[in-house]
Amino acid sequence: MTNIVYDGSFEGWLTAIFEVYEYKFSGVTIVNSERFQPNVFNRAHYSVYDKEKSDRVWKGLSGKFSKAALTQLYKTFLSEEEGIENTLLQYVQYAFTSKLSIESDFSNSAVLKVAQTAKMVQREKHRMEAFVRFQLTGDGLYYAVCQPDFNVLPLIQKHFKTRYADQKWLIYDNRRKYGIYYDLSDVQFVNLSFNEVTNEGKNLEVIMDEKEMLYQQLWQHYFKNVNIPARKNLKLHIQHMPKRYWKYLPEKQTASSS
């Protein structure tokens, strides 16, 4: 058994796929370097990202899959589920050996898994687009913290760039410790360093614009008054807005603390 250790990026995974064929590996497992644990029974092959190899694999996949299927494959990768790299390897190998399209062949376990996982990631993408709440900092930056189940920041950047094109904003994934920053021109991936005062970016009161707290209070007051107690359906509400998102929603701060 050979463990192909890669850097965790999608392009790095494409490079690893290339090297599976380049070195004629069989019985391989692709492993994120952060999860890799060496052992005496398996050989390790360290795959280093190579743009030419990555591009060649993507070009090959583009000739086998529709645009929708390529997007589905990418979303599945972003799920970050343990072992998903190898499910996708099986998916790709099946596609390259088949003369017909495999996209709807749900009798194949890899095809079915990709379809199911991509659907979950898509659902999380929509939730993040709905539940992200910006707060204005003193230097005019709109800042938001989130903690999605899957790595969806690459999927939501287009939505927020279009919707908030006239303001600088930053959305920070507190679980994965990186963010997307829009500077009124382009969206960039950024890594941030926080001090103890901001509690890893969760406590923004120390850098918040002086008017922001008033806006937060007004929003909470509005939310409280538009609710109709007689029509309250907590089960349905949680189904559409799971509790794990509440800690980042200003309108929920009063409700969750009471």
DSSP string computed for the chain: -EEEEE-SSHHHHHHHHHHHHHTT--SEEEEETTT----TTSEEEE----HHHHHHHHHHHHHHS-HHHHHHHHHHHHT--TTHHHHHHHHHHHHHH-SS--TT-TTSHHHHHHHHHHHHHHHHHHHHHHH---EEBTTS-EEEEE--SS--HHHHHHHHHHHTTTS-EEEEETTTTEEEEE-SS-EEEE-----GGGTTTT--TTTB-TTHHHHHHHHHHHHHHH--GGG--HHHHHHHS-GGGGGG-HHHHHHHH-
Number of structural domains the chain divides into: 3
| Same domain flag for 239 and 181 | no
In a shared domain, residues 10 and 116: yes
Predicted TM-score of the model (pTM): 0.81
Same domain, 91 and 154: no
pLDDT of amino acid 215: 44
Residue 6 has pLDDT above 80, yes or no: yes
End residue of a domain, out of 85, 102, 124: 124
Residue 221 pLDDT > 70:
no
Quote the pLDDT of residue 67.
Answer: 97
Q: Above 50 in pLDDT, residue 255?
A: no
The verdict on 101 and 7 lying in the same domain is: yes
Quick one: 160 and 204 in the same domain?
yes
Average pLDDT, the chain: 84
- Domain range for 39 is 2-124
Say if residue 96's pLDDT is above 90. yes
Query: Which of 78, 105, 124 corresponds to the end of one domain?
Result: 124
Q: Are 15 and 108 contained in the same domain?
A: yes
- The verdict on 19 and 101 lying in the same domain is yes
Percentage above 90 pLDDT, the chain: 63
Q: Are residues 161 and 189 in the same domain?
A: yes
pLDDT classification of 81: cutoffs 50, 70, 90 = very high
pLDDT-derived band of residue 218, with 50, 70 and 90 as boundaries?
very low
Residue with more model confidence, 199 or 99:
99
The residues that bridge with 177 in the sheet, in sequence order, are none
Least confident range of 9-23, 88-102, 160-174, 226-240: 226-240
pLDDT at 84 over 70: yes
pLDDT score of 230 = 60
Q: Is pLDDT above 60 for 225?
A: no
- Does residue 19 or residue 131 have the better pLDDT? 19
> Are 19 and 91 found together in one domain?
yes
Asked if residue 136 and residue 113 are part of one domain, the reply reads no
- Region 188-214: what's the mean pLDDT? 61
Q: Which residue has the higher pLDDT, 80 or 225?
A: 80
Buried b (16+ CB within 10 A) or exposed e, 170-188: bbbbbeeeebbbbeeeebe
Same domain, 25 and 71: yes
Same-domain pairing of 106 and 144:
no
